[in-house]
Each structure stands twice: as structure tokens, then as C-alpha cells.
Structure 1
Amino acid sequence: MAAKAPIPVYTQLNDLYNNLGTTVDHATRWNNLAEEFEKRFGRKPAYIARAPGRVNLIGEHIDYCLFGVLPAAVERDILIAIAPRAHDVPGHTVADNLLPKYTRAAFAPSHNHNEPSDSAVRAEPWHLEINPAELRWESYVKAGYYGVLNQYFTPGSPVPVDLLVTGSVPAGSGLSSSAAMVVASTLAFLAVNGKLEPNLTNVGSKINKGELVQLAVRNETRVGVNSGGMDQAASVMCDASSALYISFFPTLSATPVALPHGAVFVCANSLVVSDKAASAKFQYNLRVVETLAAARALALRLGVMVGPKEAITLREVLGRHVGEKEGEEISVEKLEEALVKLSQEVEGLRPATSADGQLGVKLDEMIALTGLDTATFDELYFSRFQVEATYFQLYKRAKHVYDEALRVLQFRKICIGGGSLEQLGDLMNASQKSCAEVYECSCPELDQLTTLAREAGAIGSRLTGAGWGGCTVSLVPEAQVESFIAKVRDSYGPYKGLEGDKLSEVIFATKPSSGACVYKFERRNVERSNQLCSRQGCMP
């Protein structure tokens, strides 16, 4: 199982490059990063951590409801070069970025030496200042560091480090640049502190991919994003030959899904930047609260038992309604049947349309539908998520989740059974319609771009990622990729006139890439690496 596999730690460059996919620019980027690190800090890095972005083929906004999704890692990634620094405050970090618009940052964690009383909530032993309301680029580096400190240094002290970041995943594009940054940061700090490989003080300990995903999910909450785990799981656990079916219930699991022959996915950036953290209270986090409230309201209607202070999810409501045993998962066939049934049961949450055309309910109505009092509702949901809304769309959110979860299973079945690209395209188009009209996470530019993509020859096209901007993903026959990109360039206003590298920055074809990894610089391999470098033009 992918979740149990160890994090790859490479010491041979050719092994690393052979597992990164098809892009020919890997050697140049890694070499430039290593050389620039040495220029800025006066020594070679000890490690380079890599985490790719991801494209979600289908299954939007259902991971935090504990339903399975189907993403693939892309070749675009975040790289972090890192090395320990002698004679400094424990844990002190100097963080630099290859992009000149990002200024150098220096920070050090503070150690909480106060022992809480027995009645107090146990405080975390380490603290790093991160302001989610005013995020800087290094906030995501700090977020990755935070979890490493509090999970691996109780007791103990981290080494002081220098690090240098570069990335090719466009920010705010829906390709999970923030998750890739947090995963890469988490990996970099684990590696430089000797936590990835067994050693004299770390005997027999070796973090696996599933543990890294869970740690990275917790870390990203430090920047105000409550993620369901899809982004991190795809970045960590994908391989270079398949998409990944990721299930979150009853525990995290991931299985490769081979894509049909001739399937190429083209990512196109709408150039509308979606800042998930800054807009969370009325977009992403609001949707989380709406799905949780919908789950409790639906459970009450169906007579499903729920704990008095349990934040039950829509997946758990389904399981209990069909008699699923605790800790077990029903078969895929039974899950499909249950999704069809629950999609019909959700109609019971549809409110009478109000005078202003809303299908939502106001706050007091939502609380009443869940059967909770105001204080308990606030404790369960509003204490965890900052949200802002006049109407809460419980019916529409639950409807999308159950229908989208069914589309994921159908997509997976078509891939496994050798179905047609047209069948996959139909599911992608239905997903986009639901995202736009039911979950309301699209935007005019994404709607336009998916329409233009179909007119340019895409078999299917949909938004990918949280939405409200960012990228689309289109299924395009392999032989038509170049003509498809040219047609989209000529028809989508922001792309007109773009050529070469500027065009490839905003629209590009991708095949699945391998997941997160670490390259370790070892002295005994320097001469061998230099020889390889002279032949391949890669880093020393």
C-alpha cells in the first residue's frame, strides 16, 4: 500500500531523475538551485526536498467529507535546498527564495517551558509566529517546520539551518502550490534533522508516506486552511505511471489507477488568483461548515445515531445509514448503490425557495435543522472555522458531494475496465456543471475557459482544485494536444499573443509524476556525481 511506503531518499542522481516523469528541465533546475545555495550560503546543501503540485482529475470538495478522490501529481514542483548551520541558536532558520520578489526571512521557534496544570489543555512545546491574516511566502515554510518541531522535538532541539526555495507550481492556480510548499518544507526539516533515516539516536524510525501526509495536513492548518488531505496525499504518494485513487475512510489509503491509452490532461491557468487562505471564511471554510451541518441535519432526518458533540461527515452518515461496521468499508459496488440512494434522500433538505430566490437557510434555521442548541453548534463548528454568510446552502452542498463521489467511482471503474475517453469526458463535464451551479466554487473565467476548451477539441473539461480561480484540466486526445493549446491561446483573451515559455507557463500538458522525495548529498558520492554532472549537465 502506498501509505506504508517510505519516503524515497536518493543519493544517485540518475535514480532520482528516472522517477520524476518526462520533463527534460529537471537537471538544470536542480543544478541551478544547488549552485545558487552555495553562492548565497558558502557551502553546498545537505539535502534537496521535492514536492510536486497536483491536478485533481475528478472529485472536487469531497475529500474533507471523507469520500475518495482521483488526483495525479504533476511534474511542476517545489524544491527546497537546506543545510545545517554551526554555532547558532537552536532551530534558527534563514530562508531565501530564488524569486527576487520574495525577500529573505529569518526566524527561530520559541520553546514553551511552562508546565500546564492537570486541568489545562496541554500546550504545544514549540511555537512559531504565523499570522494567517497576513501571509508571507515563508509562512508556508514555517507551517511545515511547526509540525516537525512539535512531533519530533519533545524533548530535543532542532539544528539551525539555511534554506533556499524555488518552485514551478503557479501560486493560486488550483494545482496545490501551498500544499506542495508545506510538504517540501516538512520534508526538508525532517531530513536535515536526521528524522527520515534510522541513525544512532533515531534507531528503527523511518517516517512513511501516510504519516508524512497526516503531518502535512496538520501543518497546513497553521496558515488557516482546513484541508481534507487530497492535496498532500497526491503530492506525497503518486507515482510516475498512474493517477491515484485516494480514500480517507475508515483510514487513509491510496491505490494507483492506470489511465486509458491516449489520455493526456492539459492544465490551463485562468489567471484568476485564488488565495484559499485569505478567502477561506466565505469560500473554502464556509463550504466545510455547510457540509458538516448538512451531514448532521441529514442524519437527524434519517434517524442515524450521532454523538451529542460529534462533527459527523456526509460519508459517515452514509455508512451508518446502510449498516457499515465501524472500522470497515463497504464494497465499492455497495458504496455506489448507497450514493444513489443518499443523493435522493438529500432532497429532504431542499428548502422552499425564499422571496429572493435562495435555496439556502439562515443561521438560526441551520442550527435548528441540526437539532443542536446555539452554544453547542458554535463549539462544534464556529470555534474551528471562521465563516461569513447570510444564507447557508446545506441542500446544494450535500447534493454535490454525493453526486461527485459517485462520479469518482464511475471514473475509476471506466479506467480499470478499459472504457472510452468519451465516458471520462462526460463525467468531467458533469463535474464542472455541478461545481459551477451546485457547489458554486467556479467563477466566470473558469466557466469560459472550460467552454472554450470543449470548443477547441477537449473531450471533457473542468476546474481543478478549490476553484474560485486557478486552473482547469481538460482531457485531450494525445494527437491533438498541440493544436488544442493553440486554439485555446487564440480564443482565451488573457492568452492572446503568448508564445514559447510564457505560453507554457499558463497552459501545459502533463502526465502523472512521482511524489515527494529527498536528494541527499553524500561526500562519498561527490566525485561520482560530478562525473554524472559532466555528462548530463546536472547538479554537482
Structure 2
Amino acid sequence: MIAQQPIPVYESLSEVFGSLEASLQHAMRWNNLAEEFEERFGRKPAYIARAPGRINLIGEHIDYALFGVLPAAIERDILIACGPRLVPKIDARETETAAGSVVAENTNSKYTRQVFAPAAKQPEEVSETQARAEAWHLDINTKELRWESYVKAGYYGVLNHHFSGGSELPVPVDLLVTGSVPAGSGLSSSAAMVVASTLSFLAVNGKLQAGSEVGPSAKLNKGGLVQLAMLNEKRVGVNSGGMDQAASVMSDPSSALFISFYPTLSASAVPLPTHAVFICANSLVVSDKALSAKRGYNLRVVETLVAARILANSLGVDIGETDRITLREVASKYAQEKDGDDMGPDALEQVLKKLEDKLDVLKPKISPEGGQLGVTMDEMIEMSGLSKEAFYQVYLSWVDIEATYFQLYKRVKHVFSEARRVLLFRRTCLEAAGSSDSNANVYLQNLGSLMNDSQDSCSNLYECSCPELDQLTRIARDAGAIGSAGWGGCTVSLVREGDVEGFIQKVKEAYPPYKGLEDDALNEVIFATKPSRGACVLKL
């Protein structure tokens, strides 16, 4: 199982990219980063941590409902050169000499140098049950998010999971960050940043070496890193479902990754058709999940959770008053699946089909004029069967959301249909891998249709698209894409091998923001990508 594999620590770039030939096109960038680190900090870095961005082929907004998804890591990534700092004995600022202090710099000049240090909480500040989880504190402003907030988020988990006993202190660290994943484009630059920073602090503090004397750190595997990075990213105000982190950590260079979150986190490689090429196109609409979460990402999380309770009640599924059941758990209980079991993709697909016919309970009792399918807060509380106080404690005490109408029916309709599309996409890929090339076009068409249906559902049911994204997917299909979908600002289009250059040119001519872009500027916003290897550390 991929989740049980150790986090790779390499000693050569050819190991990172699988061969000397593959590493050559990346060598200059990595070498430039190491030289820039030495110029700024006066010594060579000890490590370079890498975490790739990701594309999601299919499976939007269903990971936090615990349904499987199908992403792939991309070649574009976040790199962090890092090393322990020798603390000067005189003429040093207090912040820079504190235990675990951090000097963080970025090769992009718009991101300014940051200096910060974690604060160890006093015993009286923390309850006994929280002592291990909250032994350290870092200030992260979730209202006005800055680039270093993701570095701090990555640091948080390392501090509280590996330095909570008080017998050992984290070392001072210098970091230099560079990235080729466009921020806010839907390629998960934030998750890549959190994963890379988490790895940097683990590496510099000696928590990745095999045979380390520190027990928990020696056992950290890819699945553990995913869980740690998920918790870390929540520090910036985003209740992530885990897809982004899992794709960045566990991906294989030859395949997409089928990630399942129920009953436990697991991942398996899914071979992609050999004639398929995926092209990323940035709509240039920047999405910041952390800043818009209360009307977008976090709101969708709450809508699906509340809808799961209402649906469970209607199906006679027994749940406790304080339980925060997910839609995948509702499907499990409805199918009488034993705890800890996985019914398998074929059985799950049939269960989802049945459940899609039972969603009218999520509509308002009296439909307002205009066909409004949403419900008010008061209606939602009444439908849940909870008291107002209990409802707020279970669903609103831990997250900020904002809405007039809560679209429970539409959200669940998307989640169940999207979960089925993921299973169909996976099955189609596996069938294509065992078929002859003469059937390749049939399989590609089937995959493209699933991607198109996914985009339509995201736009109409989940309402997580935007006009520019809808326009760009239409242009991509007109330009010859077999399928095109996207979220968060970036589309992913399935294109036949050999059609890539012509496709990119047609999109450039038809999408207004691309007109006038050439060469490197054009390659920044639209590019073909192959599945990439997951996160790793290079020891220098």
C-alpha cells in the first residue's frame, strides 16, 4: 500500500526524477536554488524539499465526504532549500536566536523576508488532554493570509507532534522557497507549500532519517505525512478533505492516483491511457480558499455534513446527537456495511444509484417561487432534528460560514453522482490498460464524457465554478479537447497525443486573457503535463 511507504530521502537528483536523463532538465533550477540559498545565508543548504502541485482528473468536492478521488501530481512544484542555523552569540535579534526560530525568504521578490519563532505554551495554558496537540503556538492571521502562513502551518504539526514532551527543542532554521505552481489557480499550490514546509522542518530537525532514536518520527510514512499536512493546512482556515495533500505526497510518475478515505486512507495507482495527454489552462481568476472559505469551501463542507444527517434520519440510520456523519458513512450504514469494511467499487456504485433517488427529503417543504431548492438556516436546523443549541455546537462552532440559502439537495446530488463518475473513470482506465490500441478512442471518449459531466455538475449543482472557468472549458472542447473540467481557476483538458500544439494555439486565440501571450508567458498559463512523482527530500 502506498500510504505505508516511507517518505523518500534521496541523495542525488537522478533518484528524485527516476533517471539521469530525466533529471537534466531540472538540474539548473535546483542548482540555482542551492546557490541562491548560499548567497543569502552564507552556507550551503542541508536539504531541498519538493512537493508537487496536482491536477484532479475527476472527483471534485467529494473528498471531505470521504468518497474516492482521482488526482495526479504534476511536474510543477514547490521547492524549499533549508538548513539549521548556527545561532550567533552576540549582536543577534532575540527572535532569530529563540528555540526553533525561522528565517523564511522567497525567490519571488513580491514575498518579503519573514522572521518568526514558535512560543512554547506554559503548562497552565493547556489542558491535560490537549497537551500533546497544543504544546506550541505560532501566530497565523487567517483573515489576511500571507505567504509565510503556509510555512507556519507546515511547522505547526512538526512542533506539536515531535516536540511536545519538552525534553527536546527544535533547531533554528533558514528557508528559501521557490515555486512553479501558479498560486490560486486550482493546482493546489497551498497544499504543496504546506507539504514542502512540513518536510523541511522534519528534515532539518532529523525526523526523517531511518533509524532515528525518536520513535514516532522514525515511523512517519506517506500516509502519516498526508494526515499531518491535512491538519497543518487547517491552521490557515481551510477544512481540507485530504485529496490535495495525498496527491502531492503519494503520486506515482506513470499513473493517476485513486485515493480512498473510507474506512481508512489508502491509495492505488491507476494507469492512464498511453495516448492521453492532460493540458492545464489557468483561467487567471485567482481563488484563495482560505479567504473565501465561509462562502465557498467551508460552506460546502457544512452543507454536505448537515445533509448527511438529514438523509440518514430519513433512511432510518441511527446516529448520535453529537455525531458529524459524512455522506460516505451514510452510504455504508444504508448498505449495512460492517465497520472497517469496504464494500468495493462495484457495490458502492449500485448503492449510490439507489441513494440518488432518495434525495427529495433535502428539498424545502414548500418550494419558493422561481424553483429555489435551498433552505434557510431555521429550516435546516428543523430538518436536522437537533435543537438550535445542539446544531450550532455540532455544525457551526468550529467553522465560519455565510449563506442565505443552504443548497442541501444540489450539493448531495453532485457528491453522489461525482462519486459514481470517479468509479467509472477508474474502471475505464483499468479496462483500457488491458485492451488493444484499436479500442483507445472509445476509452478516451468515455473518459472525456465523464470529465464534461463533472464540470457541468460542478457548475450547476455544486456552484464551485465561475464564468471564466465555464468559458474556458467550452473553448477547450471547441478546440478539440475530448473532455475538459476544472475548479479553483484552472481547467484540465484531455487531448489526444499529437494534438497538443494545435490545441494550445486554438485556446490562445479564443480565450481573451491569452491574446498577446507568447513563449514563456504563454507556457505559464497553459501547458501539457505528465503525472509526477510525489513529495520527497534531497539530502545535500
- The aligned counterpart of 2:81 is 81
- The aligned counterpart of 1:162 is 174
Contact 1:19 1:240 in 2 (8 A): no
- The aligned counterpart of 1:172 is 184
**Could you tell me how far 1:199 is from its partner in structure 2?**
4.7
- The aligned counterpart of 1:403 is 417
Number of corresponding residues: 517
* Poorly superposed stretches of 4+, deviation over 6 Å: 117-120
Q: 1:377 pairs with 368, 391, 405, which one?
A: 391
- The aligned counterpart of 2:26 is 26
**Could you tell me how far 1:349 is from its partner in structure 2?**
2.0
d(CA) in 2 for partners of 1:22, 1:173 = 26
SS in 2 for 1:438: helix
TM-score by length of 1: 0.93
Q: 1:92 pairs with 101, 112, 134, which one?
A: 101
Q: 1:435 pairs with 443, 450, 458, which one?
A: 458
- The aligned counterpart of 2:152 is 142
Q: Deviations over 1:242-288 (max 9, x none)?
A: 00000000000000000012010000000000011000000000000
- The aligned counterpart of 2:259 is 246
Q: 2:208 pairs with 188, 193, 196, which one?
A: 196
- Structure 2 letter corresponding to 1:179: A
d(CA) in 1 for partners of 2:129, 2:162 = 22
Root-mean-square deviation (CA, aligned residues, Å) is: 1.6
Larger mean Cα displacement after TM superposition, 381-390 or 195-204: 195-204
Question: Any residues of structure 2 matched to 1:15-414 within 5 Å, and which?
Answer: 15-18=15-18, 25-87=25-87, 88-115=97-124, 122=131, 124-155=134-165, 156-199=168-211, 201-202=213-214, 205-351=218-364, 352-414=366-428
Q: Deviations over 1:196-236 (max 9, x none)?
A: 01356336824100000000000000100000000000000
SS in 2 for 1:278: helix
Cα 1:138–1:445 change in 2 (3 A) is same
d(CA) in 2 for partners of 1:493, 1:30 = 34
d(CA) in 2 for partners of 1:494, 1:331 = 44
**Could you tell me how far 1:22 is from its partner in structure 2?**
5.7
- Structure 2 letter corresponding to 1:47: Y
Q: Deviations over 1:384-430 (max 9, x none)?
A: 11000000000000100000000000000000011610000000000
Contact 1:195 1:206 in 2 (8 A): no
Cα 1:284–1:476 change in 2 (3 A) is same
Larger mean Cα displacement after TM superposition, 168-177 or 111-120: 111-120
d(CA) in 2 for partners of 1:278, 1:19 = 41
TM-score by length of 2: 0.93
d(CA) in 2 for partners of 1:211, 1:17 = 23
Contact 1:197 1:206 in 2 (8 A): no
Contact 1:23 1:75 in 2 (8 A): no
- Structure 1 letter corresponding to 2:283: S
- Structure 1 letter corresponding to 2:280: C
d(CA) in 1 for partners of 2:48, 2:60 = 31
Contact 1:21 1:511 in 2 (8 A): no
d(CA) in 1 for partners of 2:219, 2:202 = 10
d(CA) in 2 for partners of 1:179, 1:346 = 33
- Structure 1 letter corresponding to 2:116: F
- The aligned counterpart of 1:448 is 471
Cα 1:259–1:23 change in 2 (3 A) is farther
d(CA) in 1 for partners of 2:13, 2:264 = 34
Larger mean Cα displacement after TM superposition, 371-380 or 68-77: 371-380
Contact 2:500 2:528 in 1 (8 A): yes
Contact 1:19 1:514 in 2 (8 A): no
Contact 1:73 1:235 in 2 (8 A): yes
- Structure 1 letter corresponding to 2:48: I
Cα 1:370–1:176 change in 2 (3 A) is same
Larger mean Cα displacement after TM superposition, 248-257 or 298-307: 298-307
SS in 1 for 2:38: helix
- The aligned counterpart of 1:489 is 508
Contact 1:148 1:186 in 2 (8 A): yes
- The aligned counterpart of 2:437 is none
Identity among equivalent pairs (%):
65
- Structure 2 letter corresponding to 1:333: D
Larger mean Cα displacement after TM superposition, 142-151 or 87-96: 87-96
d(CA) in 2 for partners of 1:345, 1:19 = 52
Q: Deviations over 1:7-52 (max 9, x none)?
A: 1100122222327996864111101100000000000000000000
Contact 1:214 1:229 in 2 (8 A): yes
- The aligned counterpart of 1:525 is none
d(CA) in 1 for partners of 2:20, 2:264 = 28
d(CA) in 2 for partners of 1:280, 1:485 = 32
Gaps of 5+ in 2: 88-96, 433-441
- Structure 2 letter corresponding to 1:6: P
**Could you tell me how far 1:475 is from its partner in structure 2?**
0.3
Contact 1:47 1:520 in 2 (8 A): yes
Contact 1:141 1:181 in 2 (8 A): yes
SS in 2 for 1:196: coil
SS in 1 for 2:123: coil
**Could you tell me how far 1:335 is from its partner in structure 2?**
0.4
d(CA) in 1 for partners of 2:372, 2:506 = 38
SS in 2 for 1:442: coil
d(CA) in 1 for partners of 2:52, 2:252 = 11
SS in 1 for 2:170: coil
**1:420 aligns to 2:436 (yes or no):** no
d(CA) in 2 for partners of 1:37, 1:62 = 40
d(CA) in 2 for partners of 1:290, 1:281 = 11
- The aligned counterpart of 2:485 is 462
**Could you tell me how far 1:119 is from its partner in structure 2?**
7.9
Gaps of 5+ in 1: 522-540
- The aligned counterpart of 1:531 is none
d(CA) in 2 for partners of 1:98, 1:363 = 46
- Structure 1 letter corresponding to 2:507: V
Question: Any residues of structure 2 matched to 1:497-516 within 5 Å, and which?
Answer: 497-516=516-535
- Structure 2 letter corresponding to 1:80: I
d(CA) in 2 for partners of 1:187, 1:128 = 18
